[in-house]
Structure 1
Amino acid sequence: MNAAHQYQQVSTQTSIVDADPHKLIQLLLDGALQRMAMAKNRITAADFEAKNNLINKSIEIVAGLRGFLDFEKGGEVAANLEALYDYIERRLFEANVKNSLEILDECSRLIRSVKEGWDGIRQEVIEKKLV
């Protein structure tokens, strides 16, 4: 198990080093989703310390996503994303306090929706870099 975890860390670190800004956002969205799923498992297993750490990490990731927003270039989209990320952070905090699988599911759905949109523009981003 330890070797698999180490491989995953090295793989993740390599992905981050090689990532362009668009890819980095994809990795952060993936990381938030993974930690929320793991937190759900920890709630089910009554491992509340690990659940707390995972949800706190999810909150940190979402806060990081907020930090990447460019309101000058992003305009209304950036403002809407900031409001959504703020909502998700507050809901994650509530999920942590209440050990709520339902709230974690809601937050996961919202992040997944953002990720689908972000993934959908990936090819456009790549094509702009080639021009």
Structure 2
Amino acid sequence: MSVRNPYQTYKHNAVQTASPGELTLMLYNGCLNFIKQARQAIEEDNIQERNKYMQKAQDIIRELMVTLNTDYAVVKDMLRMYDYILRRLIEANINNDTAILDEVETYVSQFRDTWKEVLRLNRQKQYGGGVPHDGKL
């Protein structure tokens, strides 16, 4: 019988119980984490780790691209932006360039923050305004 790492169990359960919107937020956060790890690998001149984390960040951007709902006009703009981010990640990996990572991190952070706000507004709408500002029920 194998004993799982409690953190791994928590992560697994978090993914399994997340809504589609929360999963998208997790993807943005994961991408940002991999960008930070890639930057650290560049600073440590660790080519293998840099490539591993760059590829993971690229995989997340690709996943975000294929899961876009094309029923909305804004999606074309998002798709172009994701494509740009993907190309810049590849360029950063090839050129070992932290300045490109800084640029990409800014864009991914903006997407993440916008998505987080969308989730907040949806919850507020769904639950009729949510918890009062003083935190009391």
TM exceeds 0.5? yes
Q: Which residue of 2 aligns with 1:124?
A: 121
Q: How does 1:1-131 map to 2 (within 5 A)?
A: 6-72=5-71, 75-127=72-124, 129-130=126-127
- Which structure has the larger Rg? 2
Percentage identity across aligned positions? 26
Q: Which runs of 5+ in 2 are unaligned?
A: 129-137
Residue 127 of structure 1: how far off its partner (Å): 4.2
* 1:11 to partner: Cα distance: 2.8
**Match of 1:114, as an amino acid?**
F
Superposed displacement of residue 41, structure 1: 0.3
Runs (5+) with no aligned partner, structure 1: 1-5
User: Quick check: 54-63 or 115-124, which moved more?
Assistant: 115-124
Q: Describe the superposition over 1:88-112 as per-residue Cα deviations: whole angstroms up to 9, x where unpaired.
A: 0000000000010000111100000
What is the CA distance between 1:7 and its match in structure 2? 4.4
Q: Distance in 2 between matches of 1:7 and 1:110?
A: 33
Q: CA deviation at 1:27?
A: 0.1
Structure 2 counterpart of 1:3? none
Q: 1:46 to 1:82 in 2, by over 3 A?
A: same
Aligned length in residues: 124
Matched AA of 1:122: L
| Whole-angstrom CA distance in 2 between matches of 1:84 and 1:113 | 12
Counterpart AA for 1:53: K
Task: Report the alpha carbon displacement of residue 8 of structure 1 after superposing the two structures with TM.
Answer: 4.0
Query: Could you tell which deviates more after superposition, 117-126 or 19-28?
Result: 117-126
| Superposed displacement of residue 119, structure 1 | 0.6
Aligned partner of 1:43: which letter?
I
Could you say which structure has the higher helix fraction? 1
- Taking only aligned residues, the RMSD between alpha carbons, in angstroms, comes to 1.5
